[in-house]
């Protein structure tokens, strides 16, 4: 009699409790919490500004996770340097899910997100370069100004790091979206999307490959939907070219061609020498005769 096989239904992790942007004051306790479902039960990894958080070397961050799919990151006493973009990745053998949010700490030149923030005056706002003057989107609630645009074109060598960065200043809380050829980009093993409170938006791709070449777009909109509906998004473009590496196989072929050329020359030289020797021998024989 055959025993019944029990089939296990695997499920990709899905985060049910997302991270939210939060504002803290120096010395305040910070707790970031994520809840995820999946089968097997997901494990969790945390990042800050696109870099892995390692508790053994970053003792300020206390990480905890339960068997029920709940993970927390705790900072006992917030400092200005703790501000940044925090991400939590829930993963198991069949997939992963990610959630990200900004943490603002008073004293880190950050502002609390939301519509309560007033537009800075022309005196307080840094001067806008002439090249960026056309890349300004205004609304009664605030302004988005591009201080440093993406490069028009970027050329990198295959295997090198590909890094696209721009600087944007705004009184609003913004949502950036990177895309390539109409496809939205997200975090993965080689690709990191980061931002900081200085207004730098960055896309980094480790070990660029030939298929990373193409047209990239960064679209920036306010997170407040009521503002986004009446405010033009800021859209930046750039083109990336990836120069392929010279393969070792090609070099072998070049060496082979060179060796064949030397062999051919040597062969012709030997044949020429033999002919001269034969002719000389006949000529000598004829003279003697």
Complete DSSP assignment for 1-28: -PPPPPPP--EEEEEEE----EEE-TT-
- 172 with 126, same domain: the answer is yes
Residue 35 DSSP SS3: strand
Judge whether 74 lies within some domain: yes
CA distance 164 to 141: 29
Report the range of poorest mean pLDDT among 122-131, 140-149, 220-229. 122-131
Dig out the tokens for 270 from the structure.
């030997």
Q: Is position 286 within any domain?
A: no
Position 228 scores a pLDDT of 77
Q: Establish if 156 belongs to a structural domain.
A: yes
Q: How much of the chain, in percent, has pLDDT values that exceed 90?
A: 37
Report the pLDDT value the prediction gives residue 151, as an integer from 0 to 100.
93
Residue 168: both structure tokens together:
């944007």
Are residues 225 and 265 located together in one domain of the fold? no
Residues 149 and 78 in one domain: no
- State the pLDDT confidence band at 116, using cuts at 50, 70 and 90: very low
CA distance 170 to 168: 7
Mark whether 122 and 203 lie in a shared domain.
Answer: yes
Same domain, 187 and 266: no
Note whether 60 and 185 are same-domain residues. Answer: no
Q: What is the pLDDT of residue 1?
A: 46
Average pLDDT over residues 267-278: 45
The strand ranges marked E within the chain are 11-17, 22-24, 30-39, 43-48, 51-52, 61-65, 70-75, 84-92, 95-105, 136-139, 142-148, 153-157, 162-170, 174-180, 183-184, 191-195, 200-205, 214-222, 234-243
- Does residue 288 lie within any of the structural domains? no
* 3-state SS class at 257: helix
Q: Could you tell me which residues come within 8 angstroms of residue 95 by beta carbon, excluding any fewer than 6 positions away?
A: 12, 13, 38
Would you state the pLDDT for residue 236?
94
Domain end (from 108, 125, 147): 108
Averaged pLDDT, 115-124: 34
Domain boundary among 73, 108, 143: 108
Q: Which of the given ranges, 1-15, 52-66, 96-110, 240-254, has the highest pLDDT on average?
A: 52-66
Domain holding 65: CATH number?
Answer: 2.60.40.10
In a domain, 285, yes or no: no
Give, in order, the Cα–Cα distances in Å from 68 to each of 64, 91, 248.
12, 14, 51
Same domain, yes or no: 28 and 88: yes
Q: How confident is the model at residue 9 (pLDDT cuts 50, 70, 90)?
A: confident
Q: CA 280, CA 274: separation in Å to the nearest integer?
A: 10
Residues 197, 139 share a domain: yes
Domain residues for 257? 253-280
In a domain, 2, yes or no: no
Tally of CB atoms within 10 A around 139: 17
35 and 133 housed in the same domain:
no
Q: Are residues 188 and 64 in the same domain?
A: no
- Is residue 193 packed enough to be buried (19+ CB in 10 Å), middle (13-18) or exposed (0-12)? buried
The answer, yes or no, to whether residue 118 has pLDDT greater than 70, is no
Q: What are the Cα distances from residue 54, in Å, to 156, 191, 250, 263? A: 31, 19, 43, 60
Report yes or no on 287 lying in a domain: no
Residues 224-249: pLDDT tens digits?
777 778 888 999 999 999 998 876 65
If you compute the radius of gyration of the chain from its CA atoms, what whole number of angstroms results? Answer: 32
Q: Are residues 180 and 213 in the same domain?
A: yes
Domain count, the chain: 3
Cβ(190)–Cβ(206) below 8 Å: yes
In the structure, what pLDDT confidence band is assigned to residue 111 with cuts at 50, 70 and 90?
very low
Which of the pair, 240 or 117, is modelled with greater confidence? 240
Residues 75, 97: one domain? yes
Asked if pLDDT for residue 50 goes beyond 80, the answer is no
Q: What is the pLDDT of residue 126?
A: 40
Between the ranges 75-79, 174-178, 226-230, 283-287, where is the mean pLDDT highest? 75-79
Residue 202 confidence (pLDDT) above 50: yes
Report yes or no on 66 lying in a domain.
Answer: yes
Exposure string of 64-91, with b = 16+ CB inside 10 Å and e = fewer, is: ebeeebebbbebeebeeebbbbbbbbbb
Q: What pLDDT does residue 5 have?
A: 52
Predicted confidence at residue 125, as pLDDT, reads 37
């Amino acid at each position: 009699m055959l025993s019944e096989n029990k089939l296990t239904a695997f499920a990709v992790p899905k985060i049910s409790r997302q991270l939210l942007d939060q504002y803290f004051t120096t010395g305040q306790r910070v707790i970031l919490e994520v809840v995820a479902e999946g089968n097997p039960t997901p494990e969790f990894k945390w990042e800050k500004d696109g870099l892995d958080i390692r508790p053994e070397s970053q003792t300020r961050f206390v990480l905890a996770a339960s068997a029920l799919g709940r993970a927390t990151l705790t900072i006992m006493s917030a400092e200005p340097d703790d501000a940044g973009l925090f991400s939590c990745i829930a993963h198991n053998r069949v997939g992963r899910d990610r959630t990200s949010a900004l943490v603002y700490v008073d004293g880190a030149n950050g502002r609390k997100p939301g519509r309560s923030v007033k537009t800075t005056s022309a005196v307080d706002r840094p001067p806008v370069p002439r090249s960026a003057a056309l890349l300004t989107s205004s609304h009664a609630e605030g302004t988005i100004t591009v201080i440093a645009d993406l490069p028009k074109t970027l050329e990198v060598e295959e295997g090198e790091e590909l890094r696209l960065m721009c600087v944007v200043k705004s009184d609003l809380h913004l949502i950036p979206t990177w895309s390539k050829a109409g496809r939205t980009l997200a975090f993965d093993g080689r690709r990191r999307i980061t931002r900081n409170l200085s207004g730098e938006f960055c896309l980094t791709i480790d070990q660029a490959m030939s298929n990373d070449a193409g047209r990239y777009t960064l679209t920036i909109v306010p997170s407040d939907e009521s503002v986004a509906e009446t405010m033009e998004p800021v859209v930046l473009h750039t083109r990336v070219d990836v120069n392929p590496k010279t393969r070792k196989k090609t070099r072998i072929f070049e060496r082979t061609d060179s060796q064949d050329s030397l062999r051919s020359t040597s062969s012709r030289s030997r044949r020429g020498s033999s002919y001269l020797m034969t002719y000389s021998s006949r000529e000598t024989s004829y003279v003697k005769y």
